[in-house]
Structure 1
Amino acid sequence: MSLQVRRCLMLTAFAAVSAVTFVAAYSLRFGGPIPEQHVAGMTVAMLCAVGVKLFSFCWHRLDQNVNRYIGFHDLVTIAKATTLSTIGLSFVDTFLLPEVSTPRGVLLIDWGVTLLAVGLLRSAPRAYRDLRSNFAKETGRRALIVGANDEGESLLRTLRMARMQPLRAVGFIDPDVRQFGQHIGGVPVVGVPEDLPRLVAEYSAHEVLIAGSLPGRVVRTVMADAQRAGVPVRAMPTHEQLLRGTVSVGPRDVSIEDLLRRDPVRLDNGAISNWLAGQTVLVTGSSGSIGSEICRQLLKHKPAKLVALDRSETGQFFLDRELEALAPGVVEVVLADTNDRERLDAVFQEHRPRVVFHAAAYKHVPLMEKHPGEAIKNITLATRNVADAAEASGAASFVMVSTDKAVNPTSVMGACKQMAERYVQAKSVGSACRFVTVRFGNVLDSAGSVIPIFRQQIAQGGPITVTHPDINRYFMMIPEAAQLVVQAATMGQGGEIFVLDMGEPVRILDLARDMIRLSGLREGEDIEVEITGLRPGEKLYEELYNDSEQHKPTSHEKIMTADCAVQPLVQVLHDLRRLEAAANDSVAEALAALEEIVPRMPTETLALRVAA
């Protein structure tokens, strides 16, 4: 049916409804048959009423809306159109038809009856569609929806509208016990995630659908219980993911990101924007997982210029293309090595950034054990170079990204990071530049981290290698880490070590088993898990604070401070000169120099101490 034919039919229906409601209003006003003396006047007024109503309905484009998608907004529009038509009819009756003089009660009754009749006319196609889909799926596969929230309600409507996927929602599950017993779209909230095995049996569910951004612990509980109950689990993307365009619309298999999902980060965007808007900001390590995400987050706060510095040509090429699309003319990508002091000073003097985020560093623990001299140069000495260049160019703030491996270090990488922390703290004393450090654990799915390695091993048929059955790590999502780094950077007076709330540590063996299960495989049958033993420098447990640090809260619930004594700058500079001299010596000499300045704790001792 063409659009013009549809509009003609809709206008005809509106005209008929307008006439009938006006006559009904007269009849209701007189409590039965219309008195003979009012019939002639009513006929004239009815014709005017039809014309006025059609004009108002067309003005509000009621004839162009799709009836089967009617919602609250459309009902409000109908109310506006009906009210306008009643006001218009009052003017017509008063100034153009004074001899008719329609009773005011008729106009008020006509307003209510018209609103009801047009609302029902517009709602009938959607009501028919919903009822038809409900009855059509009485014999379909039964599904439980986890998440009695906005996404859950959207998923319910999607299931009712879908023709190709015969799923019928029979109940909602939600972690909030206060939701129990309530109904969403006629579907009850039947329990909490811990009740899943019982609810699957009670409601004969064939599938579990996860809706919305639920905490990772809830998703893990649902996955484990659904596996015991023998039903598959799928997840719907969140509204945020759909708006970012990073996922497809339909249900998907549960991912490892779902299992580790944490509560959304609450940011003081006003304070961040006041600090960054209109400023020149420089980020080192901009091609890395954290550095590139910091760049993306910073662009949201409208800096005048963002200088992205890294020595990776390929990484900088792709970053330039991405960031230029996000903020044309704002980003300047710079190729430079943080160990080249002359080049670094030239870049800082040219751009004179007010805020510097230092995220450049090596990160792979086993590789740094074999190349301690390069770790010293790229982690510790590079931090000194960037900090000095920032201060010399007049920067107001310097933020170093650190790691939990700097706490009671057992590795070269951790020891070098601790030395970098010492230098940043020492520089803060008496400096016009505000030097702070932000320390956190592992980020999920960064390049070369455990998640992509496990994916590769699963794709190759195994085995999945885990170094120790009890080894665990803290994890957070890359955007969350970058957001909190930027938030922490707005806090403090200088010299602080801010520590991000990493939540509960995750056992790597459990992570491996989760990924096996999510891949549709079975451990011991389809793929093996092999325990290989701890690698050199690898910790069994990570820590966020050492014994000499006191953790104190800040104004942000997910950011703490590690309060500790600051070493004199003279002592730190002496230690740096010792390390710089040994960096290009043999591996043994570089290790000896590092061990002398930052004693490393044996892995076995740390494991016993943490276990105790």
Structure 2
Amino acid sequence: MNNSIDFYIDQLINHTDLFDTNINDFEANKVFDFSEETILITGAAGTIGKELFKQLIPCTFKKVILIDIAESALYNLSIEFTEHINHKIELRVCNINDKASTKHIFSTYSPTMVFHCAAYKHVPLMEINPYEAVKTNIIATKLLADLSAESNVKKFVFVSSDKAVVPKSIMGMTKHIAEQYLDSLESNTEFIITRFGNILGSNGSVLPVFLKQIELNLPLTITDKDMTRYFIGRQKACQLILESTGFNNLKNKTLSFRNNSPISIYKLAKSVISISKKDDIIIKITGVRSGEKLHEIMVDSNESTEPISHPDIFQIKNKKKPAKQIADFKYLKNITPNTSTLDAEIILRKYL
């Protein structure tokens, strides 16, 4: 059995009727002119950060700074791209929750463009670790955004999630609040929020979990037979993130990418079993977990989408009055490592 994620993604896209063939339709040879830019990527060793870097390699740029708190993952990235690492590329271990370390990155390299990919994204884990979710997904995002504004960064691109829309989970609430904060900022820095669904095959997502379960001859576990999710290929998503920097003076800061139809997780599990040719593997329904929705949405009832010049990118317009400036996050100081999920949710909802 070939159990590589890329093999399964290829099989699922090209040999099942689950996905439209354009889920990862991107221009493999497209290059961008960032010759005047010093680019900072947070969460550079993660699925999105790594793919952004990969697509930047053939482009022109002044410098690329890759930062991540995960030392081993960052080291593995340096090994994987050894032949491309040169004086224009810096890899730094950095905890974006640490103000001194993050300020040092900005003062040392003076980035002109920031791709903020670092985040805690796993819904069940963040339900029981709300303090960590708040620190990384809100407070660190605020720190990066404020430093970017102070440093006259040209463009700050924030990687958000469909879970930020009408959020139910701690993770979704933290991403929603981060979106709101960035949307409220007024500065010379152009803040861009990119909102899309699950990256097919990303670290810790459903497909790698299924493959590990198959490898161990375990049942494939899904939480509900009716659950659906939006998916997009990592290469397409990252190319669209890079392309989002090409728009100037947008009326709205939030962008959404064209989505295929939502995919049944149950059908995905059945397709993975079929590809694996392990007919004895069963599917086990475990029940919806805390914070999970049966179905995600990309746009809530107070928002609408407006086309722009790119066929796969849309502006999201808020029909309500513009988001008010969030002066501070004083209530968030009440969220500590001892705070329960319920109490954290009550505090977070003050900002929704």
CA shift for structure 1 position 320: 2.1
Following the alignment from structure 2 to structure 1, what is the Cα–Cα distance between the partners of residues 301 and 337?
32
- SS of the residue corresponding to residue 44 of structure 2 reads coil
Following the alignment from structure 1 to structure 2, what is the Cα–Cα distance between the partners of residues 415 and 337?
22
- The verdict on how the C-alpha distance between 1:518 and 1:455 changes in structure 2, with shifts beyond 3 A counting, is same
Following the alignment from structure 2 to structure 1, what is the Cα–Cα distance between the partners of residues 166 and 144?
25
Following the alignment from structure 1 to structure 2, what is the Cα–Cα distance between the partners of residues 394 and 555?
27
The answer on 1:513 being equivalent to 2:273 is no
Q: Which residue of 121, 127, 137 maps to 1:369?
A: 127
- The verdict on how the C-alpha distance between 1:579 and 1:254 changes in structure 2, with shifts beyond 3 A counting, is closer
- The verdict on how the C-alpha distance between 1:389 and 1:324 changes in structure 2, with shifts beyond 3 A counting, is farther
Q: Match of 1:593?
A: 347
- SS of the residue corresponding to residue 21 of structure 2 reads coil
Following the alignment from structure 1 to structure 2, what is the Cα–Cα distance between the partners of residues 379 and 500?
21
Q: Match of 2:40?
A: 282
CA shift for structure 1 position 493: 2.0
Following the alignment from structure 1 to structure 2, what is the Cα–Cα distance between the partners of residues 425 and 475?
25
Normalising by structure 1, report the TM-score: 0.53
Deviation by residue 1:98-149 (Cα, 9 ceiling, x = unmatched): xxxxxxxxxxxxxxxxxxxxxxxxxxxxxxxxxxxxxxxxxxxxxxxxxxxx
Q: Match of 1:195?
A: none
Q: Match of 1:106?
A: none
Q: Which residue of 336, 344, 366 maps to 2:94?
A: 336
Q: Which residue of 152, 160, 173 maps to 1:402?
A: 160
- SS of the residue corresponding to residue 193 of structure 2 reads strand
- SS of the residue corresponding to residue 288 of structure 2 reads coil
Q: Match of 1:300?
A: 58
Following the alignment from structure 2 to structure 1, what is the Cα–Cα distance between the partners of residues 351 and 248?
28
CA shift for structure 1 position 324: 4.1
Which has the larger helix fraction? 1
- SS of the residue corresponding to residue 327 of structure 2 reads helix
What are the ranges of 5 or more consecutive residues in structure 2 without an aligned counterpart?
1-5
State the structure with bigger RCO (CA 8 A, min sep 6), 1 or 2: 2
Q: Match of 2:3?
A: none
- The verdict on how the C-alpha distance between 1:492 and 1:408 changes in structure 2, with shifts beyond 3 A counting, is farther
Following the alignment from structure 2 to structure 1, what is the Cα–Cα distance between the partners of residues 9 and 88?
38
The answer on 1:262 being equivalent to 2:15 is no
CA shift for structure 1 position 265: 2.5
- SS of the residue corresponding to residue 563 of structure 1 reads strand
Letter in 2 for 1:502: N
Following the alignment from structure 1 to structure 2, what is the Cα–Cα distance between the partners of residues 510 and 297?
31
CA shift for structure 1 position 256: 2.7
CA shift for structure 1 position 295: 1.2
Letter in 2 for 1:539: K
Deviation by residue 1:368-393 (Cα, 9 ceiling, x = unmatched): 00111111111011110111111222
Q: Match of 1:127?
A: none
Q: What number of residue pairs does the alignment pair up?
A: 338
Deviation by residue 1:379-416 (Cα, 9 ceiling, x = unmatched): 01111011111122221110000000000111000000
The answer on 1:436 being equivalent to 2:192 is yes
Following the alignment from structure 2 to structure 1, what is the Cα–Cα distance between the partners of residues 13 and 43?
24
The answer on 1:546 being equivalent to 2:300 is yes
Deviation by residue 1:539-572 (Cα, 9 ceiling, x = unmatched): 1111110111111111111111111143222xx1
- SS of the residue corresponding to residue 409 of structure 1 reads coil
Q: Match of 1:580?
A: 333
The answer on 1:415 being equivalent to 2:169 is no
Following the alignment from structure 1 to structure 2, what is the Cα–Cα distance between the partners of residues 465 and 267?
34
CA shift for structure 1 position 440: 0.5
Letter in 2 for 1:461: N
Q: Match of 1:529?
A: 283
- The verdict on how the C-alpha distance between 1:492 and 1:498 changes in structure 2, with shifts beyond 3 A counting, is farther
Letter in 2 for 1:316: L
Letter in 1 for 2:339: S
Following the alignment from structure 1 to structure 2, what is the Cα–Cα distance between the partners of residues 254 and 371?
35
- The verdict on how the C-alpha distance between 1:445 and 1:396 changes in structure 2, with shifts beyond 3 A counting, is same
Deviation by residue 1:289-336 (Cα, 9 ceiling, x = unmatched): 111111111222211110001111111111223334225222100111
Tell which structure's C-alpha radius of gyration is larger.
Answer: 1
Q: Match of 2:147?
A: 389
- The verdict on how the C-alpha distance between 1:385 and 1:373 changes in structure 2, with shifts beyond 3 A counting, is same
Instruction: After TM superposition, list the pairs within 5 Å mapping 1:7-156 onto structure 2.
Output: none
- The verdict on how the C-alpha distance between 1:546 and 1:404 changes in structure 2, with shifts beyond 3 A counting, is same
Q: Which residue of 483, 503, 509 maps to 2:260?
A: 503
What are the ranges of 5 or more consecutive residues in structure 1 without an aligned counterpart?
1-245, 599-612
The answer on 1:558 being equivalent to 2:312 is yes
Q: Contact (CA 8 Å) 1:396, 1:434: kept in 2 or not?
A: yes
Q: Contact (CA 8 Å) 2:159, 2:195: kept in 1 or not?
A: yes
CA shift for structure 1 position 460: 2.1
Following the alignment from structure 1 to structure 2, what is the Cα–Cα distance between the partners of residues 315 and 253?
22
Q: Which residue of 332, 336, 345 maps to 2:103?
A: 345
Following the alignment from structure 2 to structure 1, what is the Cα–Cα distance between the partners of residues 239 and 345?
35
CA shift for structure 1 position 480: 1.1
Q: Contact (CA 8 Å) 1:381, 1:580: kept in 2 or not?
A: no
Q: Which residue of 129, 132, 137 maps to 1:379?
A: 137
Letter in 1 for 2:268: L
Letter in 2 for 1:262: T
Letter in 2 for 1:397: K
- SS of the residue corresponding to residue 562 of structure 1 reads strand
Q: Match of 1:58?
A: none
Following the alignment from structure 2 to structure 1, what is the Cα–Cα distance between the partners of residues 158 and 190?
11
- The verdict on how the C-alpha distance between 1:394 and 1:452 changes in structure 2, with shifts beyond 3 A counting, is same
- SS of the residue corresponding to residue 314 of structure 2 reads strand
Q: Match of 2:231?
A: 475
Which deviates more from structure 2 when the two are superposed, residues 458-467 or residues 539-548? 458-467
Percent identical across equivalent pairs? 32
Q: Which residue of 205, 211, 218 maps to 1:449?
A: 205
Following the alignment from structure 1 to structure 2, what is the Cα–Cα distance between the partners of residues 257 and 447?
18
Letter in 1 for 2:123: V
Letter in 2 for 1:544: M
Following the alignment from structure 2 to structure 1, what is the Cα–Cα distance between the partners of residues 239 and 199?
12
Q: Contact (CA 8 Å) 2:13, 2:21: kept in 1 or not?
A: no
Following the alignment from structure 1 to structure 2, what is the Cα–Cα distance between the partners of residues 426 and 323?
38
